[in-house]
Amino acid sequence: MSFRGSIRTVRISAALLCVFGAGVLIREFVRFPVVFPGAGALAVALELPLVLIGFALLRRLRPTRAPALKWSAAALVWGGAAATGCALLANQGLTGLWAKGEGVTFASDWSAALTAPLNEEVLKLCGVVMIALAAPLVINGPLDGLICGAITGLGFQAVENVTYGLNSIVMSGGTSPDRAVLDSALLRVGSTGLGSHWTMTAVAGAGVGYLIRHTRRRRLMREGSGTGYRGPQPAGRSPAVLGRDLLAAAGCLATAVGMHFLFDAPGDLAIAIKVAVNFSIAAVLYLMLSAAFLRRAREHLAAEAAAGLVGADEAGSVLSRRRRRRQLRGIQEPAERDRLLARQRDILTELDAEAA
Amino acid sequence: MVADQARQPPGGASPQARLRWLLIVVGVMALLTAGWPLLNAAVADKQKLAAHASLQVGPGGTDSASVSVGQGWFVRPAETDPSQAYVLRRGAVTISIGYVSLAGRYQAARLWDGLRRVFRVTNPGVSLGQPAAVTSGQGRKGLSATAASASSAGAVSAFVGPSGTYAIQIVTLAPRSARLAAEADSSQLIRSLRFPAARHARTARTARRAPAGAQSPTAS
């Protein structure tokens, strides 16, 4: 199969899985908007600010430029459709098994902590892998994976919040549907929103990013060794660095599962502490990866400038969104502006791969 | 914006490797999405309850209620969470005893309209009759109505807890041929319904009225 054929197969499969997940959700919740139309609309409306603001902020987190809008939206849809719908079925199955095997009291306390981290983290993570397969330039390393994962988790979180809001109508006996939905949203957006799914999948997504960087660099090393070249390897392609990437990938995936377990586990630990722990882990990882990305980007640009491949002005301005815009605004001639824009994009695309 | 995302990056996966990863992803998803439910379906969803077992439903303490069942009942663990609901089965009769957390203080009459609407979501196709007053074995007033669909019949009853902030809903359903058994089981369960808070309150009142040295009826 050709490269384009394989890409098309992945994209069609991902779309079908999203349709399947959405179908599961619709089948499960379709009666709510019929019986409680106002509360149903409210449950969705209350999540819109979270989705819109979260989506914009998470995309803005990426240094130099935001990830492609189309693939960011795809990550959001995967989280909200494929992952959520499949998780609904998987969780029902595994929760039932815990109750049958260990008893209803044990399951009442522990089934969420022993079910969701396994099912939900894997299903959300599949979305990050699908995007890496469907659009190979989108995820080049851990930072791209972190942002793609965070957006996938955000989609999952928003749709899960809607389903919790709808279920809270039932759990409150339908006596005050709007109040039940509002209380649920306040708790899940206002109280736990900062440390919920988006943080867990951000960390897991970084793990996928490490894995992608590891496999690409290993492939490049193999291709290099095939030419008979025995000299020093480029930075980041030594066996030690490759091994570190693999270890980091495993560490990120285990940490994400651990974060989810902590979040759902029963016990006396206050929910505010759980939220703070998850948020801090995601924030520290982001700051580390972002700083490392920018450092590698500056080093690469300096090397390119020294070789005369990039102008000193370009090297100084291309990493900053504001300076790039200022450069473009300073050019009156449309054709010249398009040329500069294309040049900036080329440099940034190269940096995405080299600094990943 | 980003250039064509379908371009192959340096060191990117070959088409064969891409399809291999796709199969892995789809396989893992199928394993979780279909595997757990299939495994769950393969394990029997029934655990025998001891005769006259007492079941507490609700978060616990005064914010709960208990019922006791007769002989031959099974609990359906996969649908049961003691803090929210028990689903029981005996023969063709299925009973669910659910805890409902109310947003405010409610009387049974005000609760009914909400429950009727919730019933349309949780049990589509089953319609409720006019509610009538019903009294639990503890003397607590509630409402009960018949439930009927094309193939099943039974009853729905609701009792607001003493605090007025929660309610217990008992839904009994069986095939139409077992309607009488369903009604009898529903009545038996309603007779056994106990609200701990109500018992404590009554106990306190009794203790206040009792002469010094008299034993509390619940002390033994």
Backbone angles phi, psi at B56, to 5 degrees: -100, 125
Q: Which residue of B has its CA nearest to A92?
A: B37
In the numeric block, the tokens 């570190």 are attached to A244
Q: Which residue of B has its CA nearest to A33?
A: B121
Mean pLDDT (whole number) for B171-185: 91
A321 within domain boundaries? no
What pLDDT score does B216 carry?
31
Instruction: Please say whether the beta carbons of A127 and A75 come within 8 A.
Output: yes
With beta carbons under 8 A apart, name residues in chain B contacting A177.
Answer: 114
Å between A339 CA and nearest CA of chain B: 14
- Which residues have a Cβ under 8 Å from the Cβ of A24 and sit 6 or more positions away? A85, A86, A88, A89
DSSP track, B88-117: EEETTEEEEEEEEE-SS---HHHHHHHHHH
Q: Within a 13 Å sphere around the CA of A77, how many CA atoms are in the beta-carbon half? A: 16
Least confident among A144-153, A231-240, A274-283, B172-181: A231-240
Q: Which residue of B has its CA nearest to A346?
A: B3
Where residue A131 falls among pLDDT bands split at 50, 70, 90?
Answer: very high
Å between A174 CA and nearest CA of chain B: 4
What pLDDT score does A238 carry?
65
Q: Output the CA–CA distances (angstroms, integers) from residue B121 to A81, A92, A125, A173, in the order listed.
A: 22, 19, 32, 11
Interface test with B, best of A71, A175, A351 (most B CBs within 10 A): A175
Output the furthest CA–CA distance in chain A (Å, rounded). Answer: 76
* B81: DSSP letter: B
Inter-chain CB proximity B3 and A346 less than 8 Å: yes
Residues 18-77 of chain B whose Cβ lies under 8 A from any Cβ of chain A? 18-19, 21-22, 25-26, 28-29, 32-40, 43-45, 47, 75, 77
Mean pLDDT (whole number) for B79-93: 94
Q: Which one of B9, B117, B169 has the shortest CB-CB distance to A216?
A: B9
A332 within domain boundaries? no
With beta carbons under 8 A apart, name residues in chain A contacting B19.
Answer: 1, 6, 9-10
- Per-residue pLDDT tens digits for A70-113: 999 999 999 999 999 999 999 999 999 999 999 999 999 999 99
What pLDDT score does A314 carry?
82
Whether B210 shows a pLDDT value over 50: the answer reads: no
Whether B213 shows a pLDDT value over 80: the answer reads: no
Q: Which one of A99, A118, A175 has the shortest CB-CB distance to B103?
A: A175
The helix (run of H) or strand (run of E) holding residue A48 is helix A37-60
Inter-chain CB proximity B19 and A137 less than 8 Å: no
Q: Flag whether residue B111 sits within 8 Å of chain A, measured between CB atoms.
A: yes
Å between A205 CA and nearest CA of chain B: 15
Interface test with B, best of A170, A187, A216, A218 (most B CBs within 10 A): A170
Å between A306 CA and nearest CA of chain B: 23
What pLDDT score does B27 carry?
97
Give the separation between CA B116 and CA B112, rounded to whole angstroms.
6
Q: Which residue of A has its CA nearest to B79?
A: A96
Domain region containing A178: 3-289
Q: Which residue of B has its CA nearest to A100?
A: B77
Whether B220 shows a pLDDT value over 70: the answer reads: no
Q: Within a 13 Å sphere around the CA of A98, how many CA atoms are in the beta-carbon half? A: 21
A14 within domain boundaries? yes
Where residue B10 falls among pLDDT bands split at 50, 70, 90?
Answer: confident
Q: How many structural domains comprise chain A? A: 1
A296 within domain boundaries? no
Among A4, A6, A151, A3, residue whose Cα is nearest residue A70: A151
ipTM of this predicted structure: 0.89
Inter-chain CB proximity B40 and A97 less than 8 Å: yes
A330 within domain boundaries? no
- Per-residue pLDDT tens digits for B93-140: 999 999 999 877 766 667 888 999 999 999 988 999 999 999 998 899
Q: Which residue of B has its CA nearest to A83?
A: B29
Whether B152 shows a pLDDT value over 60: the answer reads: yes
Among B69, B74, B134, residue whose Cα is nearest residue B108: B134
A75 within domain boundaries? yes
Whether B46 shows a pLDDT value over 60: the answer reads: yes
Domains contained in chain B, CATH given: 50-202 (3.40.1000.10)
DSSP track, A308-329: TSS-HHHHHHTT-HHHHHHHHH
With beta carbons under 8 A apart, name residues in chain A contacting B15.
Answer: 1-3, 5-6
A313 within domain boundaries? no
Inter-chain CB proximity A10 and B22 less than 8 Å: yes
- Tell me the average pLDDT of chain A: 92
A334 within domain boundaries? no
Inter-chain CB proximity A104 and B10 less than 8 Å: no
Record the pTM. 0.89
Give the three-class secondary structure for B63. Answer: strand
Q: Output the CA–CA distances (angstroms, integers) from residue B60 to A71, A198, B79, B195, in the order listed.
A: 47, 33, 19, 11
- Per-residue pLDDT tens digits for A185-208: 999 998 899 999 999 999 999 999
Å between B40 CA and nearest CA of chain A: 5
The helix (run of H) or strand (run of E) holding residue A62 is none
With beta carbons under 8 A apart, name residues in chain A contacting B23.
Answer: none
Distance of alpha carbon B118 from the chain centroid = 13
